[in-house]
Structure 1
Amino acid sequence: MDVIVPFTDRDPKSRLKPVLGAAERRKFAFAMLQDVVTTIEATGHEPELLVPRPLDVAESAADTAAKASEAAEDDAVPESVADRPTIVDDRPLTPAVNGVLSRVADGDTAAVAIVMADLALATPTALHRLFSAGGDVAIAPGRGGGTNALVVRDPGFAVDYHGTSYRDHHRAAAEAGLAVGVVDSMRLASDVDEPADLVEVLLHTDGRSAAWLREAGFEVDDSESRVGVQRGTE
């Protein structure tokens, strides 16, 4: 089985702008990617990164200006992901992933797994559940109707990440006559997109992502009835 991790460092995690600047969001995105790569490796698979451009290419003028405004100290790609096998495809996510899924139709592999790069809470146990789940297509749904990870074993299936992709993927598999396995996992359902998601990283992980947040001054705030995060002054 091939395991693919889509990732982009082009204005990553834009919905975290209320709490993180441009350079910070890039560093945090790389921290989460490192956690996901390490977790996949712990399952015995070597992940490949699916990126719109090589990670070490020169940035656009807009990217450079944004980082300069944040006084970024270190812009280097982390070594633990810089040497990963990489697929470069500058198309949007849906056609880029479907391009990789063609490996199943071509007979290059029996299955392709797609694991999103912001699953900082993922564990080897959770991924083992997904990888071993039955069905022509196995899906780990995300909160809010998304698809955070899936395994495709039949060439008759294609992804569509627009809108409520979990529902759409379930429907597409049914229309193609394919069996679907669903993996209900808090750790795979918890992608990190919004400021409110950061507390889950601090509460449930001790990897690079949590360490980065703590170094950046974030801590759990349980002063209210609903637990959140707060950022201290640096």
Structure 2
Amino acid sequence: MRVFVPYTDRDPKSRLAPALSESERREFSRAMLRDVLRAVREAGGAPELLVPDAPDSTLFEGSNAPDAVSVTVDERPLTPAVNDALDRLRERGESEVAVVMADLALATPTALRRLFGVGGDVAVAPGLGGGTNALVVRDPRFSVDYHGASDRDHRQIAARVGLSVETVDSMRLAVDIDEPSDLAEVLLHGRGEAREWLCDAGFVVDADGDGRVGVRRS
């Protein structure tokens, strides 16, 4: 199965700015991307990077980088870029195509195999907060819309054209890394290069507070 992984090096993960400098955010984002690409490949998918700019060779330099990745360059916003990519693959005879976000630092091959194997015209792995972290499309009448509460919107799009939707309830696919508080999830549950990067940068779990577990930097 062809699996599109959208990614950008343009001011990556800006909401992590309170915890990481711009260069650190780029390094950490690349580590997460490589973890996702490796998980996709080990789950049996064929990853294809969807980027607004042609990547340099250092993007794939890391302990968790897969051997080879196809690249599609499209400078448009996420929704039209993904929809055009889906259309081109359908024209080439692909019966099912997946889209997996690049910041799913907890994703594992097992979690992705669940998504790839579930039935339905559309299979969705919702993200926390109403987003769509990963999906599989098996009908050409479906199109994506990543604005706002995209999980709800994707169900409505499918319903309008009579398509069935199956949901994969997975912690590892539901958690995308956007805020400094999300870094604790990577330290607690991550298994790849992104966790190693945080540890090397001096981040540790902070469980001394009265509320949610957080992180601190030594």
Residue 12, structure 1, aligned to residue 12, structure 2: yes
Q: What's the offset of the Cα at 1:103?
A: 3.5
Residue 192, structure 1, aligned to residue 177, structure 2: yes
Q: What's the offset of the Cα at 1:104?
A: 5.2
Q: 2:38–2:66: 8 Å Cα contact kept in structure 1? A: no
Residue 101, structure 1, aligned to residue 83, structure 2: no
Residue identity matched to 1:228: G
* Residue in structure 1 matched with residue 109 of structure 2 by the alignment: 124
Residue identity matched to 1:22: E
RMSD (Å), alpha carbons: 1.4
Q: What's the offset of the Cα at 1:139?
A: 0.4
The structure 2 residue matched to 1:228, chosen from 192, 214, 218, is 214
Gaps of 5+ in 1: 58-75
Residue identity matched to 1:117: A
SS at match of 1:47: strand
**Alpha-carbon separation, structure 2, partners of 1:82 and 1:90:** 25
Distance 1:82 1:150, change over 3 A: same
SS at match of 1:77: helix
**Alpha-carbon separation, structure 2, partners of 1:217 and 1:139:** 35
Residues 134-160 of structure 1 show CA distances to partners (whole Å, capped at 9, x for unaligned) of 110000000000000000000100000
| Aligned counterparts, 1:25-174, within 5 A | 25-56=25-56, 76-79=58-61, 80=65, 83-103=68-88, 105-174=90-159
Q: 1:133–1:181: 8 Å Cα contact kept in structure 2? A: yes
With normalisation by structure 2, the TM-score equals 0.94
**Alpha-carbon separation, structure 2, partners of 1:28 and 1:116:** 15
Q: 1:104–1:155: 8 Å Cα contact kept in structure 2? A: no
* Residue in structure 2 matched with residue 203 of structure 1 by the alignment: 188
Q: What's the offset of the Cα at 1:44?
A: 1.9
**Alpha-carbon separation, structure 1, partners of 2:209 and 2:49:** 40
Residues 13-53 of structure 1 show CA distances to partners (whole Å, capped at 9, x for unaligned) of 00000010000000000000010011111112220100001
Q: 2:40–2:112: 8 Å Cα contact kept in structure 1? A: yes
Residue 24, structure 1, aligned to residue 6, structure 2: no
With normalisation by structure 1, the TM-score equals 0.88
Q: What's the offset of the Cα at 1:83?
A: 4.7
Residue identity matched to 2:5: V
* Residue in structure 2 matched with residue 63 of structure 1 by the alignment: none
SS at match of 1:143: coil
**Alpha-carbon separation, structure 2, partners of 1:88 and 1:115:** 16
Q: 1:104–1:154: 8 Å Cα contact kept in structure 2? A: no
**Alpha-carbon separation, structure 2, partners of 1:206 and 1:155:** 35
**Alpha-carbon separation, structure 2, partners of 1:125 and 1:13:** 26
Q: Percent sequence identity over matched residues? A: 60
Q: 1:139–1:181: 8 Å Cα contact kept in structure 2? A: yes
Residues 160-187 of structure 1 show CA distances to partners (whole Å, capped at 9, x for unaligned) of 0000000000011001100001111110
Q: What's the offset of the Cα at 1:108?
A: 2.3
**Alpha-carbon separation, structure 2, partners of 1:38 and 1:104:** 22
Q: How many residues align?
A: 214
Q: What's the offset of the Cα at 1:101?
A: 1.2
**Alpha-carbon separation, structure 2, partners of 1:82 and 1:127:** 19
